[in-house]
Chain A
């Protein structure tokens, strides 16, 4: 009975969530990882989940869950699936990053200060997608920008007026160390940055370039 409890607890966190803004490429990545083929995708309005066989020696299975990125839907689905998350892949559109940096940072902040996420500390991978386009920013640059933006957000969010029923919006969950500038290494979870391209450099016919992503998935599976 106890063994079954332990099994239940472990299996309840077998999901890998694909999060990100709208048009970051989550659904295409999802399709590529599972089937290897290119599909025309539309903006998702609901989640999709499927089992993925990781390419490691154990051949373990993880459940990939692709969540919609639209602002009105993302928090709702995050609520539903955050408890089951063993790892989170945050997909970032490297081409539109400069424009969207504030929105990206805000969503990432919301994910990071969530109490369930902080408690479980799932592994976090920031996948800088759309690297096949020439104007794409590199992972290093994205990391620096995000750190700066999150630094500012820490201050502004904690200074926001307290919430209606008394619970502060960002108060108890303080990201990183107070005195120093925000750094991804200050988080309780492992964070990695990886570059990938769901479409692939050879266009729709060829394969996607995401060995980094696959290796990481194999590692955490």
Chain B
């Protein structure tokens, strides 16, 4: 379900993976974490493409038996791809600088070019030649890696004659695109200057005329005077640099404005063109969806995923969790071939539902009674610690859980480690009295089922816990429930105290009590609690939160998103659900019901 993130780190290794949903393949690349290899993504893409193309037949025709019987002799291809990727990465670094320089300089030439239509080719040649001569020194190390660098080189080295108009136009277009990709804001700035330029037009033509005179000479002469002219060109360029560019930019704007206008339209109203496309494509898409099987693309899924994300957030799932969930569903479905008569919406909904159920399904066993029985056999008490922020219902749910344990015949010792809150110890004492009244010692073979271990207020909680556990061991209690004070996750000294309590006493189960009403706060709480527990523990493998108790579940109707947020962050199961304030209001989680409530419109 965490498919959104495609890299995984474990000790010294990092793994990056790529999914092919069409043929159900996974490509994994592992490398040492300290090496920052830039070619990994490209390598994995290349490997994916080659492998898929090479063995496409076997996948499509023979299915599983093909997979079992086929020999996939891919090692040589893989080594070759690896070598190519390594080489290309070595070459890439210096050329990056080059292209930037190239594009800057070429921008200048283009502007000069556009001013004078007739003499465009020769000027461009001259300018290019000069630039070329300057750059020959720099380009000594140039490798034919990048297409742009490659383009410029043949143009400067090869030609000393005029270029044809078509090639120039093509070059101009390339540079326009480059500039578009490079500087979005640069294309905006000339717009306000466009109005000023119209006045400067006449001057442009003057310069052009002077160029025409110069270029009347023969080639050798132009070469000689070419040195002079470009110098003149350059001075006006630099001095009137902006103003010269502007008139040029006027023509540029014609190209640019179209692109720019499109860009703006796209940026400002992202929905409009897509809906337009969607309108036309939607009709065909519907037909296609009904008849054939098409593979899912990102664009198809995006609107549906947006809606799903908003729906989840409306149901009280934390915002970042909803985003990550939608990302992982998108990754899982991308490229998958849909069956007939299924719409994109239904496929996405199905996938999201499966992902949610998988999140809520516990990874390991959730059977407290079984573990208590185990501890009973070893003659040691089973220690459960409750932690959480203020006011979530720790003491109330502790009493509910002790009631449940007593019903199943285990004796419970309640350790009152909440030495801060007024009335905490009295509250637990009242609970103990009531529980003993409900289950009198006579009906359980003469031993009191519940007992309270307390040492008053103001004492050290960790110490009380330790004493309570040894008392339980001596007296033969089955379970020890440790109640701690509520604390905010930002309160560093209190978090340290809690971490110390847990590290010193090594409980069997650390339960985080969280209320179902919490929204985005749940993420913050859990992350900080886990971090505090991990930081302040001396052991190699620190004790983290083992389970979650979700309380006040009866106060939310179907906005059950908090359950998802909490399990997603910790990947630990929800052990209990509290649904009220009496002793019987304790439930276990039913993943399907929660997901159904979550997906209900």
Q: Which residues of A contact B (CB under 8 A)?
A: 31, 34-35, 39, 45-46, 48-50, 71-73, 75-76, 102-103, 106, 152-153, 155-157, 159-165, 167, 169
Contact = CB atoms under 8 A, between A and B. Distances in A.
15 contacts: A34-B65, A35-B68, A72-B358, A103-B365, A106-B367, A152-B373, A153-B370, A157-B367, A159-B408, A161-B404, A163-B588, A163-B589, A163-B593, A164-B588, A164-B594
B361 interface: yes
A164 B593 contact: yes
B341 to A, nearest CB: 19
Contacts of A161: 404, 576-577, 586-588
B370 A164 contact: no
Contacts of B367: 106, 153, 156-157, 160
A71 B361 CA distance: 9
B123 to A, nearest CB: 62
Interface in B360-388: 361-365, 367, 369-370, 373
B15 to A, nearest CB: 13
Contacts of B362: 71
A163 B589 CA distance: 6
Given A76-B357, A76-B358, A160 B588 contact: yes
A219 B361 CA distance: 36
Contact of A45 (B26, B354, B370, B589): B26
A46 B24 contact: yes
B463 interface: no
B195 interface: no
B342 interface: no
Interface in B20-69: 24, 26, 63-65, 67-69
Interface string B561-601: 00000000000000011010000001111100110000000
A71 B363 contact: yes
Contacts of B357: 76
B577 A164 contact: yes
B9 to A, nearest CB: 19
Given A50-B64, A71-B363, A156 B590 contact: no
A148 to B, nearest CB: 12
Interface residues of B, number: 34
Contact of A164 (B63, B68, B364, B587): B587
A163 B592 CA distance: 11
B360 to A, nearest CB: 11
Given A163-B588, A164-B590, A165-B593, A35 B69 contact: yes
A160 B407 CA distance: 11
A34 B373 contact: no
Contact of B590 (A106, A153, A165): A165
Contacts of B576: 161
Given A76-B358, A160-B588, A161-B588, 11 more contacts: A49-B64, A50-B63, A71-B364, A75-B361, A76-B354, A156-B369, A156-B373, A159-B408, A161-B404, A164-B553, A164-B590
Contact of A102 (B63, B354, B370, B579): B370
Contacts of A157: 367
Contact of B65 (A35, A72, A102, A155): A35
Contact of A163 (B69, B370, B587): B587
A52 B69 CA distance: 14
Contacts of A46: 24
Contact of A162 (B67, B361, B370, B587): B587
Interface in B77-133: none
A159 B24 CA distance: 41
Contacts of A169: 588
A100 to B, nearest CB: 11
Top 9 nearest A-B pairs (CB, nearest first) are: A156-B369, A163-B590, A50-B64, A165-B593, A164-B590, A161-B588, A161-B586, A48-B64, A156-B370
Contacts of B407: 159
A165 B600 CA distance: 15
B363 A72 contact: yes
A167 B589 CA distance: 11
A184 to B, nearest CB: 20
A159 B361 CA distance: 20
Contacts of A153: 367, 370
A34 B587 contact: no
Interface string B377-411: 00000000000000000000000000010011000
Contacts of A71: 362-364
B10 to A, nearest CB: 15
A157 B373 CA distance: 13
B579 to A, nearest CB: 8
Contacts of A152: 370, 373
Contacts of B26: 45
A177 B586 CA distance: 28
B118 to A, nearest CB: 67
Contacts of A163: 587-590, 593
A152 B365 CA distance: 14
Contacts of B65: 34-35, 50
A73 B26 CA distance: 16
A91 B140 CA distance: 66
Contact of B589 (A31, A48, A49, A164): A164
A161 B254 CA distance: 73
A34 B579 CA distance: 51
Nearest to A163: B590
Nearest to B370: A156
Contacts of B579: 164
A38 to B, nearest CB: 11
